[in-house]
C-alpha cells in the first residue's frame, strides 16, 4: 500500500519541508566564495544549494536535480522520500549545470517518466520523455506534470536564459530558480543575489521589479524556495522580500 505524504521523512540543510508534507527541500550547503559564479565580490560564507520534491498522491515531481557535488546525498534523500517504484517527473527551471547535472544518476535509479524544461538546449536523459514548454516572459502556464499534480510555470522577467519559476497552488509555494537567492538570515541584502544580473545597469528595470512583486503578491505566496540561498517562509515575509528585491532591481537599472 502506498504511504500518505505525511508519513514521509524530511531531509535537507535548512527548513526541509515547505507547505507541510507537500514540498521537501533536498541538497546541502556549499562554500560561497569567488570560485562560485553567482557570488558577489568579497563574500565568503556557506550557502544551501537546493532542489525540491513536490509530493503527489500517485507520484512526485522533482524541481531541478541539484549540483554534482551533492549527487550521493540527493539520491539518499530521494530514497527516503519516494516509495519503491513511485513514478517521478522532473522539471528543470533552467538548463544550466546546477539544475540538470544529476539527471542521469536520478534516471538510472528511479522511474523517471518525463523531463519538463524550457529553452532550446537538449537535456541529458535516457528513456524519459522530453517535454519542452514555451512560456512568454511575464506570463504563466498551468500543466499537469504528474497525475494529480498541477503546477503553474511562471516565466519571469528576472532572467538571463529562459527560466521557469514553479508555483504549486496546493501549498502556495513558489520555487524561484536563480532568483530570491539572498536569504542568509539577519542582515541579508537583496543585492547579493543580483551579481549575475549585471546587465541591469544598462536597462530600465522598473518592469522587471514590478513583475517580481506582482508574481508574489498576486498569488499570495506562502513560501519561496530558491535554487540557492535559504527559503523565505510566511506570506508577510515573502511579500516583504519581494518588495526588497524589487527595490534593489530598480536601483540597479538605468533611467
Is residue 5 very low, low, confident or very high in pLDDT (cuts 50, 70, 90)?
very low
Alpha helices in the chain (DSSP H): 71-81, 97-100, 103-109, 206-219, 235-252
Taking the CA of residue 89 as centre, how many other CA atoms within 13 Å lie in the half-sphere pointing to its CB?
23
| Residue 243 near residue 193, CB atoms below 8 Å | no
Question: Count of domains in the chain?
Answer: 1
Is residue 255 very low, low, confident or very high in pLDDT (cuts 50, 70, 90)?
low
Per-residue pLDDT of 108-118, as tens digits, reads 999 999 999 99
What is the domain-level CATH number for residue 86? Answer: 3.60.15.10
Q: 206-219 and 235-252 are packed helices; what angle lies between their axes, rounded to 10 degrees? A: 170
Predicted pLDDT at 16:
61
Residue with the three cell numbers 543580483 = 194
| Residue 152 near residue 142, CB atoms below 8 Å | yes
Indicate if the pLDDT at residue 2 is higher than 50.
Answer: no
Q: Which helix (H) or strand (E) holds 167?
A: strand 165-168
> What's the distance, Cα to Cα, between the start and end of the chain in Å?
60
β 88-91/112-117 pair status: parallel
| Residue 230 near residue 54, CB atoms below 8 Å | no
Per-residue pLDDT of 168-222, as tens digits, reads 999 999 999 999 999 875 567 898 889 888 888 888 999 999 999 999 999 999 9
Range of the structural domain that residue 49 is part of: 5-252
Amino acid at each position: 500500500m502506498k504511504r500518505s505524504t505525511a508519513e514521509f521523512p524530511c531531509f535537507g540543510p535548512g527548513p526541509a519541508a515547505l507547505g507541510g508534507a507537500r514540498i521537501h527541500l533536498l541538497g546541502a550547503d556549499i562554500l560561497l566564495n569567488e570560485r562560485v559564479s553567482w557570488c558577489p565580490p568579497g563574500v565568503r560564507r556557506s550557502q544551501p544549494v537546493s532542489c525540491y520534491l513536490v509530493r503527489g498522491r500517485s507520484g512526485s515531481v522533482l524541481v531541478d536535480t541539484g549540483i554534482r557535488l551533492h549527487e550521493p546525498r540527493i539520491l539518499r534523500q530521494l530514497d527516503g522520500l519516494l516509495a519503491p517504484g513511485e513514478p517521478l517527473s522532473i522539471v528543470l527551471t533552467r538548463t544550466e549545470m546546477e539544475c540538470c547535472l544529476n539527471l542521469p544518476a536520478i534516471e538510472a535509479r528511479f522511474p523517471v517518466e518525463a523531463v519538463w524544461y524550457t529553452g532550446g538546449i537538449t537535456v541529458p536523459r535516457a528513456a524519459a520523455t522530453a517535454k519542452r514548454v514555451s512560456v512568454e516572459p511575464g506570463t504563466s502556464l498551468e500543466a499537469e506534470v504528474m497525475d494529480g499534480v498541477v503546477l503553474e510555470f511562471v516565466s519571469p522577467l528576472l532572467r538571463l536564459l529562459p527560466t521557469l519559476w514553479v508555483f504549486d497552488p496546493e501549498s502556495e509555494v513558489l520555487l524561484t530558480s536563480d532568483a530570491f537567492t539572498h536569504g542568509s538570515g539577519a542582515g541579508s541584502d537583496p543585492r547579493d543575489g543580483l551579481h549575475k544580473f549585471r546587465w541591469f545597469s544598462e536597462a530600465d528595470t522598473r518592469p522587471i521589479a514590478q513583475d517580481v512583486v506582482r508574481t508574489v503578491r498576486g498569488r499570495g505566496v506562502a513560501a519561496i524556495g530558491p535554487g540557492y540561498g535559504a527559503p523565505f517562509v510566511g506570506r508577510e515575509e515573502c511579500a516583504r522580500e519581494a518588495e526588497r528585491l524589487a527595490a534593489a532591481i530598480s536601483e540597479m537599472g538605468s533611467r
